[in-house]
Amino acid sequence: MTAQRRTGYIWHERYAWHDTGTHVGIAPSGGFNQPHMTFESAESKSRMAGLVEVSGMIDELIRLKPRLASREDLLRVHDADYVDRIERDSAARGGDGGDGFTPFGPGSYDIARLAAGGTIAAAEAVLAGTVDNAYALVRPPGHHARRDTGMGYCLFANVCVAIEYMREKLGVSRVAIVDYDVHHGNGAESIYWNDRDVLTVSLHQDRLFPLDTGSVTASGGDGAEGTNINIPLPAGSGNGAYQAAIERVAVPAVTSFRPDVILVSSGFDPSAVDPLGCMTVTSGGFKDMAAALVTLAGNVCEGRIVFSHEGGYSPVHVPFCGLAVLEALTGHETGVPDPFAQSFDSSPAHVLKPWQDEVIAQAALIADALRL
Ligand code: ZN
């Protein structure tokens, strides 16, 4: 069967070579913490790339070539001191992005530039019309990185670097970001806090990470009120809550904002089997969200939508969630069954609960009241 849409796809083996060392999931090894992998390891991403090939999805995609984001590209978003430090530490033995949760090994400066540049390449292809939409399977992720520091496994703000490239070079002026990673998209929020031309919408687990950001009342700085929307969903939220948040908050907000292009921070850590989140989203839930966002892009910005990979730490489930999203982007069904469907698809967790509905209603109310 031929794909209905031309979907660009970015992956490079070098992304898997970003070395985050040994940790105990999120904590450093040592003392009583027996060394193990960092949750942010290559596994979930390289296995997703593997399933994209083995499922035959790769034949329905248009491979795009990632490139290294230049220093100039990075400096549109990040402080020079920060970029210089990452470059210096990377040339030595590696280091940390800045918060103690962002370890990186030798050579990660270039890999992080390839992640930001991969998102740029995906955006460029969508803007040029050589593809209808695109998925950049990049690593390290980016949505926690702030102007002056890395954070939460993120070194450079991949989505923001791509947005600033588009705004400077490709005639784009208004952009919407929708972030369904289980953690708050605090990096993009901080970078665009005072920018009324970038709408940021984050669905995340309430008070997970970072602990002190992501409140429903944080709606944008002076002159940009209403361009930052947080939907802090309670732990335990499933497909029903996520779909309701997309339909009742993200879709009307983005529709009225009328962006030139939509960027999606695509994290699969709301998965039912993720070690870092406490949500219960299934591959079908991710597919429904992606389909709603593709339809939204078709309605507001001629279909221009770019997904950039963020978190997602279940090596066994992320590949199926990622494949489901690619099915939504391409319109091509692989027929590959998700082995976790039998465990989670029928869970009562997917029914929208009153305490989830309350948060979504509050976010919708704030977004409506402040709509520009
Ligand atoms: Zn995350």
Number of structural domains in the chain: 1
Q: Flag whether 90 is in a domain.
A: yes
**208: CB partners within 8 A, 6+ apart:** 182, 183, 184, 235, 276, 277, 278
- The residue length of the chain stands at 372
Measured in Å, residue 129 CA sits from the centre of ligand 1 at 30
Residue 51 DSSP symbol:
H
Neighbours of ion ligand 1 (CB under 5 A): 181, 183, 267, 269, 311
- Residues annotated as catalytic are 144
Q: Flag whether 2 is in a domain.
A: no
Q: Flag whether 189 is in a domain.
A: yes
Predicted confidence at residue 1, as pLDDT, reads: 46
Predicted confidence at residue 4, as pLDDT, reads: 86
Q: Flag whether 63 is in a domain.
A: yes
Q: Flag whether 123 is in a domain.
A: yes
Average pLDDT per block of 10 residues along the chain, 372 residues long: 82 98 89 94 98 98 98 98 98 96 97 98 98 98 98 98 98 98 98 98 98 97 96 98 98 97 98 97 98 98 98 98 98 98 95 98 94 70
Predicted confidence at residue 78, as pLDDT, reads: 98
Q: Flag whether 1 is in a domain.
A: no
Measured in Å, residue 269 CA sits from the centre of ligand 1 at 6
CA dihedral over 155, 90, 148, 278, signed as positive or negative: positive
Query: Which residues constitute the domain of residue 248?
Result: 7-370
Q: Flag whether 353 is in a domain.
A: yes
Q: Flag whether 158 is in a domain.
A: yes
Measured in Å, residue 130 CA sits from the centre of ligand 1 at 30
Measured in Å, residue 2 CA sits from the centre of ligand 1 at 33
Question: Can you read off the two tokens belonging to residue 350?
Answer: 């997917």
Measured in Å, residue 101 CA sits from the centre of ligand 1 at 12
Q: Give the domain CATH number at 55.
A: 3.40.800.20
CA dihedral over 45, 51, 52, 58, signed as positive or negative: positive
Predicted confidence at residue 3, as pLDDT, reads: 54
CA dihedral over 16, 18, 22, 27, signed as positive or negative: negative
Coil vs helix vs strand at 213: coil
What pTM value is reported for the model?
Answer: 0.98
Helix axes 318-330, 283-300, angle to 10 degrees: 30
Measured in Å, residue 330 CA sits from the centre of ligand 1 at 25
